[in-house]
Amino acid sequence: MSKTVLLCSPVYFDIEYEINPWMDKDNQVKQDVARQQWLQLNGIYGRMGWQVEHIDPVEGLPDMVFTANGGLVIAGKVALPTFRAPDRQPETAHFRQWFEQRGYTEFLQPKYDFEGEGDALVWNDIIFVGYPWRSDKPVHAELAEFFGKKVVSLQLADARFYHLDTCLTIVDDQTIALWPKAFTKEALKAVHNTVPNVIEASDEDALAYGLNASSDGKNIVLSDRAMGLIKTYQERGMSVHPIPISEFQKSGGGVKCLTLELR
């Protein structure tokens, strides 16, 4: 299944502030390595037959590279981000402008904190939405009303996995993968009650950001250090594309963080 995704070049990507447990201004990004890793991701999507759109990077907004936080797009409707961290709040206007220039007209600007696909993952006709680290639980009702979809709320339990997309992967229409320790017992139960097949990742694969992945059901792109998940997906007959994400993980990001799906 071909997808259309939005990426942003890491021209200005750096660690200029610390807003999650991974970020450390003393552990700076190697710009040339980050560029190579991003170009590799961009190229893989193209070879998989996905259409890749680009938004221009903006100086002073280093985290715009993580386009997944730039919105949630379903059937041409866009829920824009309401960023919790003041450092990231200016990004919203740039994402909105990009969508408007391409003819999108239906927008939700949530009253409550919401960080786009970072915390909202679409599985079939359901939206899994994470909280509380970067998105507020009351935003879930806003999303349900705006998109007319069922929302399943998932409480996250480990601050290192501060966005839902860092600890849960939509693999295909029957399967998701997750790291159980990132969720409360109630959240895990909600997933198991909803999804037929749940792959549980090891601690090692979770910490390698192996769950921050992009899949179309046949192809999956993920961290090259998530050896257990790579093997699992290969055994399922998927075409697996492992790539290095070391520079982006310094900022708490990976494959999925760098990718916004345009439905």
Residues annotated as part of the active site: 163, 257
Q: How far apart are CA 13 and CA 58, in angstroms?
A: 10
Strands (DSSP E) found in the chain: 4-7, 51-54, 72-74, 77-79, 106-108, 120-123, 126-131, 150-155, 168-172, 175-178, 197-200, 214-215, 219-223, 239-243, 260-261
Rounded Cα distance between 175 and 195, Å, is: 6
CA distances 198 to 76, 174, 177, Å, are: 29, 9, 6
Cis peptide before 132 (omega within 30 of 0): yes
Sheet holding 175-178, edge to edge: 168-172, 175-178, 197-200
**CB of 202 within 8 A of CB of 228?**
yes
